[in-house]
Chain A
Amino acid sequence: MSPRDDAGVTLATARATRPRDIRVDLQLIAEMIEPGSRVLDVGCGDGALLDHLVHFKQVDGRGLELSMDGVHACVSHGLSVIQGDADTDLKDYPTDAFDFVVLSQTLQAMRAPREILGHLVRIGRRAVVSFPNFGYWRARLALLVQGRMPVTDRLPYQWWESPNIHVCTITDFVSLCREMGITIERSVILDRHDLVRGSGFGALANLIAAQGVFLLHRS
């Protein structure tokens, strides 16, 4: 199962209600992508974002998805999607093959997030990455007060069932980007109601953001 399946939306139902109600974080990603560009969506789930980009931004869109159900949904609806594992398959893609590579709500489920991040900014001239923020105050509070691993809207799993094996905070992410020579071009942070709460990635953002969306490129 794709870590992005949390909304539980099938492509068929998503189609019926589109254009405007793809998830807010997906809309924010879509806004960062230039019309007509070449886009690879890594962990594209049921293809909701890809379908939106193909039809409303006229992108040349491709997807990579682990779950068979996701791939079937995508290809059956005319999207170019490969059944595969980002942890092993991204190395095959040539450098600068795409204008944008998207990784939405999936980084924390990767076996090797650092390598993945490296591939994203290598394969794409730009990368768009969104992930749930473990530095969010509710997560911190859960650990501090209850002494329990946080279960939040964005990280809804118990520790023993979670596909999210590499959760991080915004500060962790920013620090890794700096270490890898990756420039954060833009960022948007969202609270748990998916309301946009700003565009920073400092200490305050790390406290109030339930998730963040980042536009990256190689420095």
Chain B
Amino acid sequence: MTVQTPARTAAAPINTGWPGHGVLLGPMRLDCGVELDRFPIAYQTYGSLDPDRANAVMVCHALSGDQFVLDRHPMTAKSGWWEAMVGPGKAIDTNRYFVICTNVLGGCMGTLGPKEVNPATGLPYGLGFPVITIADMVRAQKLLIDHLGIAQLFCVVGGSMGGMQVLQWAVSYPEAVFAAIPIAASARHSAQNIAFDEVGRQAIMADPDWHAGDYISHGVVPHRGLAVARMAAHITYLSETALHRKFGRSLQNRTAVTYGFDADFQVESYLRHQGSTFVDRFDANSYLYITRAMDYFDLAAEHDGVLANAFRWRGRSTPVRFCVVSFSSDWLFPTAESRATVHALNAVAANVSFVEVATDKGHDAFLLDEPQFHQVIEGFLTGCAEHRGLKDRRRGAA
């Protein structure tokens, strides 16, 4: 099967319809065997690229994230999703580093995904979109940095599914990555996580408005299914302690329970809000495809079932310097998963740091204000910059 995309031309900037940059790149062969011809990648950049192009940092976003790391979101008007970490004077300092973030392949914010129009049919791909993998997402990002003339990324960093992309980057292109920071991630999706993903997908597919993936043609959105998927997933991003602290058993705008099924409890109201706002900005089919990509992720599987083999390079250990980070209350990607990655890296004597950040905020801690976490990232990057010989242009400015 060949997916038809616009006729082959030189990589050309395009308007994706979203703020930021867009470019048509390809061809590219997907893991499933489908050959993509030319396809759009939407991306954002922050800071400026040094003349020697050595200061680029690729930020990889998570399942429901996008390329708007620092911008006000064009649909929700909320501030950028990683403003706690990235920006002028922040741990990933845009006065020093050139930050790139692409919307992932399969996404719904300008990069090729199931809601885009298939030129062969003139209709949205829907379920005609090929199944993509984390490696495919990273392949697309590699095409972009080639296009930008960046031979080696100074760092690839991301949390959750972003962390999976980070690990995949280090395994697929070890020479193109100086340092890698996989945060709250795993080298393989666990059975429990696949199970949660399946609950989300079934919720979407059970919505009559899903129309076997063809809802755009029907002029509807399976908003109930997608909202339930988001609500279930959102619980996994928090911790029991965080939920209890935030809501306890508090009631929503009432003094007593109503003996009905309204959102009596604040936590119900909160989840309903999370679900309904997500529907406004995210495509249901993208949710299916991206969760599937996470399910399929298993770095060891491609290396004889031995994760350490993924980190061997030319008979030696990977040249990439790692900083693996986990959060103590994260039960979606628990510390044990990060530790398994660290053990595999140790087994090839790779250069690796590993920190478990003590927090009760659960998986979502990577997005939140966690000063100790940010100190670790900043220190790791500064150390790497020293080894890489990056000029600290902030000193001149200070």
Residues of A with Cβ closer than 8 Å to B?
Answer: 38, 60, 62, 68, 71-72, 74-84, 89, 92-94, 97-98
Instruction: Give the complex CA separation of A82 and B372 in angstroms.
Output: 16
Q: Which residues of A contact B355 (CB under 8 A)?
A: 68, 71-72, 75, 83
Query: What 15 new A-B contacts, CB under 8 Å, besides A72-B372, A84-B339, A93-B347?
Result: A72-B355, A74-B353, A75-B353, A75-B355, A75-B376, A76-B375, A76-B378, A77-B383, A78-B382, A78-B383, A80-B383, A81-B354, A82-B346, A83-B356, A94-B347
B348 touches A94 (CB 8 A): yes
Q: CB-nearest residue of chain A relative to B372?
A: A72
Count class of interface residues, chain B: 20 to 34
Q: CB-nearest residue of chain A relative to B347?
A: A92
Would you give the shortest CB distance from A72 to chain B, in whole angstroms?
A: 6
Within the complex, which residue of B323, B349, B358 is in contact with A93, where a contact is CB–CB below 8 Å? B349
Instruction: Give the complex CA separation of A97 and B354 in angstroms.
Output: 18
Q: Which residues of B contact A92 (CB under 8 A)?
A: 343, 346-347
A75 touches B323 (CB 8 A): yes
* Given contacts A84-B342, A93-B349, A94-B349, A78 and B375 within 8 Å (CB-CB): no
> Quick one: which of B317-368 are within 8 Å of A by CB?
321, 323, 339, 342-343, 346-349, 351-356, 358
Instruction: Give the complex CA separation of A62 and B383 in angstroms.
Output: 13
A-B contact count (CB 8 A): 67
> 4 shortest A-B CB distances, which residue pairs?
A78-B383, A76-B379, A97-B349, A82-B354
Q: Which residues of A contact B372 (CB under 8 A)?
A: 72
* Given contacts A84-B342, A94-B348, A75 and B379 within 8 Å (CB-CB): yes
Instruction: Give the complex CA separation of A38 and B350 in angstroms.
Output: 11
B375 touches A68 (CB 8 A): no
B296 within 8 A of A: no
Would you give the shortest CB distance from B338 to chain A, in whole angstroms?
A: 10
Would you give the shortest CB distance from A123 to chain B, in whole angstroms?
A: 9
Q: List 10 A-B contacts (CB under 8 A).
A: A72-B372, A72-B375, A76-B380, A78-B382, A79-B383, A81-B353, A84-B339, A89-B343, A94-B348, A98-B349
A75 touches B346 (CB 8 A): no
Would you give the shortest CB distance from A218 to chain B, in whole angstroms?
A: 18
Instruction: Give the complex CA separation of A170 and B95 in angstroms.
Output: 54
B146 within 8 A of A: no
B386 within 8 A of A: yes
Q: Which residues of B contact A94 (CB under 8 A)?
A: 347-349
Q: Which residues of B contact A38 (CB under 8 A)?
A: 349
B384 within 8 A of A: yes
B380 touches A75 (CB 8 A): yes
Would you give the shortest CB distance from A131 to chain B, in whole angstroms?
A: 24
Instruction: Give the complex CA separation of A97 and B345 in angstroms.
Output: 12
Instruction: Give the complex CA separation of A83 and B346 in angstroms.
Output: 12
Instruction: Give the complex CA separation of A68 and B326 in angstroms.
Output: 12
Q: Which residues of B contact A93 (CB under 8 A)?
A: 346-347, 349
Q: CB-nearest residue of chain A relative to B324?
A: A82
B321 touches A78 (CB 8 A): no
B342 touches A82 (CB 8 A): yes
Instruction: Give the complex CA separation of A60 and B349 in angstroms.
Output: 11
A78 touches B349 (CB 8 A): no
Q: Which residues of A contact B339 (CB under 8 A)?
A: 84
A76 touches B376 (CB 8 A): yes
* Given contacts A92-B346, A93-B346, A94-B347, A77 and B354 within 8 Å (CB-CB): no
Q: CB-nearest residue of chain B relative to A123?
A: B349
Instruction: Give the complex CA separation of A73 and B393 in angstroms.
Output: 25
Instruction: Give the complex CA separation of A80 and B345 in angstroms.
Output: 12
Within the complex, which residue of B321, B343, B376, B386 is in contact with A80, where a contact is CB–CB below 8 Å? B321
Q: Which residues of B contact A81 (CB under 8 A)?
A: 353-354
* Given contacts A83-B356, A84-B354, A92-B343, A77 and B349 within 8 Å (CB-CB): no
Within the complex, which residue of B342, B352, B376, B384 is in contact with A72, where a contact is CB–CB below 8 Å? B376
Instruction: Give the complex CA separation of A40 and B57 in angstroms.
Output: 28
Q: Which of B343, B353, B379, B386 has the most CB of A within 10 A?
A: B353
Q: Which residues of B contact A74 (CB under 8 A)?
A: 353
Q: Which residues of B contact A78 (CB under 8 A)?
A: 379-380, 382-384, 386
Instruction: Give the complex CA separation of A38 and B349 in angstroms.
Output: 10
Would you give the shortest CB distance from B262 to chain A, in whole angstroms?
A: 44
Would you give the shortest CB distance from B226 to chain A, in whole angstroms?
A: 38
Q: CB-nearest residue of chain B relative to A40?
A: B349
B347 touches A80 (CB 8 A): no
The interface bits of chain B over 263-280 (1 if a CB of A lies within 8 angstroms of the residue's CB, else 0) are 000000000000000000
Q: CB-nearest residue of chain B relative to A68?
A: B358
Would you give the shortest CB distance from B98 to chain A, in whole angstroms?
A: 21
Q: CB-nearest residue of chain A relative to B344?
A: A92
Q: Which residues of B contact A80 (CB under 8 A)?
A: 321, 351-353, 383
Within the complex, which residue of B348, B352, B376, B384 is in contact with A82, where a contact is CB–CB below 8 Å? B352
Instruction: Give the complex CA separation of A185 and B383 in angstroms.
Output: 34
Would you give the shortest CB distance from B204 to chain A, in whole angstroms?
A: 39
